[in-house]
Structure 1
Amino acid sequence: MNSAGSNTRAPGTAPAWSSWYLTMPKLAVGLLVILLVALLWLLQDNEKEEQRATLIADVLWLEQSFRFHLENNTVQLQQLALDLGHADASDKLFDTRVRHLIRTNPELVQVAWLDNDGVTREALPSHISPRRGAGSERGRGEDSFELARKLGKPIFSRTYLSQDEAFFELYVPLYRGDQLAGMFVATHSLHSLVGQMVPWWFVEKYRLQVLDDDGKVLTAKSKLDPGPAALTHQVALDPPGYGLTLQATANRVVTSTAQNLIMTLIIFLAGAVFWSLWAIRGLMRHRLAAEQALRSEHAFRKAMEDSLTVGMRARDREGRITYVNPAFCELTGFAADELIGALPPYPYWDPEQLERTREMHEKVLDGLAPSEGFEIHGRRKDGRYFDALVYEAPLIDADGRHTGWMGSVLDITEKKRAEELARQQEEKLQATSRLVTMGEMASTLAHELNQPLGAISSYNAGCLNRLESGNYTPEELRAVLEKLGVQAQRAGRIIRRVHDFVRKREPVLAECDLAELVDDAIGFIEHLAQKRHVRIARELPGWRPPLLADQVMVEQVLLNLMRNAIEAMGDTPPELRRLVVRVTQNEREVEVRVIDNGSGIADAVRERLFTPFFSTKPDGMGMGLNICRSIIEFHKGRLWVEANPAGGSIFAFTLPFAP
């Protein structure tokens, strides 16, 4: 009584664990909100760092562009100095080259040619008065002039202001021989240089300023609206140097409205979750009573399922196993906890038939499972294999929704083993009966040898008669003996060809002539064609590149195809029985077509034509075409069959040319 009373709970009261069950989600939601806020802050900080790295890379790229451009101007003026240093150089060269230089470099205000005393000899454009002669700029220009004279190399001057615009000069000495013959002075406008070299995308992102060594802004360029500056980076502008720096400033990254909205929504949703959890608390009591009733029902249903000898397996719409009964576990050898929750490929699937089993699995999930059931081949946990017959049915829940599939699995391993044993016995009997047909080659050999042996006998008798009569000449006997030798060689070739045809050997790839190969195959089967009143025609191109093939194996393919074609014309009127061996070629391969006008091949038969042990002949072995396809594929070719528009069939195969 006490024990029963201790387990009794008043209706409508929640168990002690339910309060913890609801508290944990609240803590999780609170922690999630904190983490999301931290994530947004980290994202904003990361965005600032990325902006800083981009700013530094852009400023370094711009500084490099300035340096390369000024160095290019220096190189062009040095080249001009070298060209004018020759004794035969004219002033016209200076005029031509400088005009081109100023036209392609807008920042060049003027290029002047000074003599050794610093007096202007020529200047372009000539209408602009030199700025070097004013005040302190004169002293700076003379210092740069003297420094370039002493060092003998190009020198940039300090930046100076004229009419509120910054300029700097480039001094390039001109030598004739080893003597200084003058100086080129290229005046650069810093404002024009910045306007030319700074691309549009740079000023869209940053405010660019050029500062002197005192921090004074000499020139600037930007399309950026003034705002709170957060990121600034500067690099030295050398050349021209003398404390000049490039400074780029990016506006501060402002928190977007979307981020603020997301933050507000997160806090709002967190409050909604807390409220919903509180509301769920009242529903938990009603649900617990319903769960108790379900436990009783589940126990009753489980007792029924455990008593079944048929394996039961349930899967959801994604293929995940949701239930197995003990009979299914016994069939597969896996425990229930090893199978429930598993997704394809399941552990009891046969690894050698994964694709086939997966294909059937997809059909079941698509609702295309056959109503009569289907077979699967599986592997138990201990490595033994089993066969099972599976019936699938939709799994419908209480609301009428299709939630998955319920399968009934029957073990048919022993039944399949008995069927396989019977099939193997039948195949052995069929193979034994097929071996009897190999005796047909004897008649072929006898007929082939009859012609050359008969010719040898005739030539021999003729020679003996001539010798006995004494009426002969050596030339006549030599001609007869040569023909006799040819027939003997022909008989030897027939015996060797038949021997090579039937003996087991490794394939040998060698260059061979396709015309000779076709002629040998036709000669081998010509007696059968004459017996069946079949005319054989060969259509070969005039020039044929050599093939890299095993001649005996390809002859075997041709012989088998021609023999099948002759037999297929058994019901064709004799006057229409015509076998054509047609050879065509393209750039890479040759195509051989064996064409007959027999009864043709039905579509259902054509699908199984190259299957081992399938034959349309009552006494056929069913291996000829399968062997032919293997031979052609060994030679990197293809073998197929198609219908002849004029009636009959066309067997075609391709062979690649020898490299």
Structure 2
Amino acid sequence: MVRWAWRRWQGAWRRWSLWTLLVALVAAMLVTVVWLAGRYEASVVQSQLERDTADAVADLRTALARNLQNIQALQGLAPGGSQWQVQAGALLREHRELVGIEWRDRALNVQAQAQSPFFPTRGERGNSDGAHSDTALACANAGRLSGAAYSSSYFQPQGAGLGVEMMELCLPLSTAGRAGGYLVVTYSLQNMLTELVGHNLTRRQEVSFTEADGTRLAMVGAARRGTRMFTAQQLLDLPGNTLVLRLDGWHAAPSLFPNVLTALVTAMSIALVTVVAMLVRDNRRRLSAERELGDALAFRKAMEDSLVTGLRARDLQGRITYVNPAFCEMVGFSPAELLGQSSQAPYWPPELAEEYWHRQAVRLAGTAPPREGFDSVFMRKDGTRFPVLIIEAPLINAVGQHTGWMSAFIDISEQRRVEELSRASQERLQATARLATVGEMASLLSHELNQPLAAISSYATGTLNLLEVGPGSDSAALQAGLQDARTAMQRIAHQAERAGRVIKSVHDFVRRRDQAREAVPAQELLGDVLPLVHLQARKLGVRVQVALEPGLQPVLCDRIMVEQVLLNLTRNAMQAMDDPAIAVRVLDIRVRRAGSNAHSGWLEFSVADCGSGITDDTARQLFTPFFTTRPEGMGLGLSLCRTVVEQHGGFLGYGPHTPRGTVFTFTLPFARPAPETH
């Protein structure tokens, strides 16, 4: 009996061993077939993608070389001429990857340009003269290589938060063996991929230019199709720049079985291990989900502990459901004291509680914008107040439902303190500049006041002589003497008023007051500074010309600060003409609307002189604080002028004045009319 049981156990063990071995062999064979099939198909797809990448790079090199030949044909034309413009425009229409063509002189100043009709205006960077860093580097490489050179790519904003990546080609020009300038051609990386890469490639995969770290600069191609991604990269080596061309191909899982019969046999073979495989898979998924959940919780905790920005979450009823440690440290309350609060938060100042409650009600009602930032004042647990910047956004759960609001809080106490210090420092510098200006005018005042005071003295002496009437004088002589005395007294009053106006102009300019912007006509701004301008102009022999465009609207500005800008610019202009070699000394002051549009919102002031102009060395440091070309100067005038103009939202610049000299120009915004009340 025992022997029979032993033999039965041995038979069962052999059967289970054989079945187990068979299942293991089938599973191993299946796994091997699946692995080999997947590797083979993946290698085929990857090889094809590598060939497509190499073909795309070859297409780009060929197209760029062809474009270079077409661009070189422009060298034989007169720069800026009509034929050059026609040829450049035709080239831009035929090649949409080209955004613009510029002819620049050796100093990289734009002499002629053509813009692609298929591309919006390139903006402030593309239209500006001068040696931009990317353009200057590309042209320097082109000069060193004696051939075409490319710049590194840069981002060109297009408005509404959008933009494109650009790259520039610099081609040196030569006339009779001498350098004659450069042809600068701007490429759009997006259009290069669209126009120069074969459409059969972009229909099947994504084609993009990337940086070395993988950041995408431009991308075209098909959307994602499949569950596996294959990537191939190839360097597009250009003179002066190297781009990385990347192709991403999305494919479905590789085909595992070549025919239906093999699929059926394999399905029958794997039926034995299906249940075990499913259990193992489910167990692994559960363990993986638990590990990922633990990692996510640990990551969130570490992130919360490292943040300096306060975070707070509220539900749709306004109850606080979450606060991070930074927020608790900011207000001085613990999470237990904050969670669940709804009607009145403990960090609201009592005097502002009603206002905050109304703002919270508006937010919870859903009538406010979904995302906004605003300043507020919070109260710490010890009662101290501090300013905060609040940014709120809807809180959306995993299924897309709106469950509350998430708020971010930034303590801006230090920022406000720095802004106040900066404002006070700026006011001190402005006051110093005004006092320095008055110090320079002290000698001019003494000269200017001598004339009315001397006239007053002369008229007073004459009046006293007229009043000394002899005893034998008749009534007619007495009346004539009184009339002459009355005329002399009127002239004395006129001269005294003239001296008073000079002193009042300087007094009004020097006195310090708080900044207050108001609507001021341009005539009043000039009228307040012209007495001081004429004061110095008469001493230096300068003729002052003033031209105002009719019908100008008032500008919104700080009167005193803008008057200081005008006075500094006119004083600098007259000092630039203080040279015996300059025979004609004319100071030209003009006021007109900025731009050609009559409804432009800006007013342009220009101050032109007939001096010797500004050298390149001086131009590089012209607006640097404490830089001056005069031994007695402080070097603060132009720096403060630019600061004042930029604080008003305007722009201060300069340029050459025809036939000689320099013209400084700045803009100020028009004052908007007050809204009508009903």
Larger radius of gyration: 1
Range of TM-score over shorter length: 0.3 to 0.5
Q: TM-score when scaled to structure 1?
A: 0.33
Structure 2 length as normaliser, TM-score? 0.32
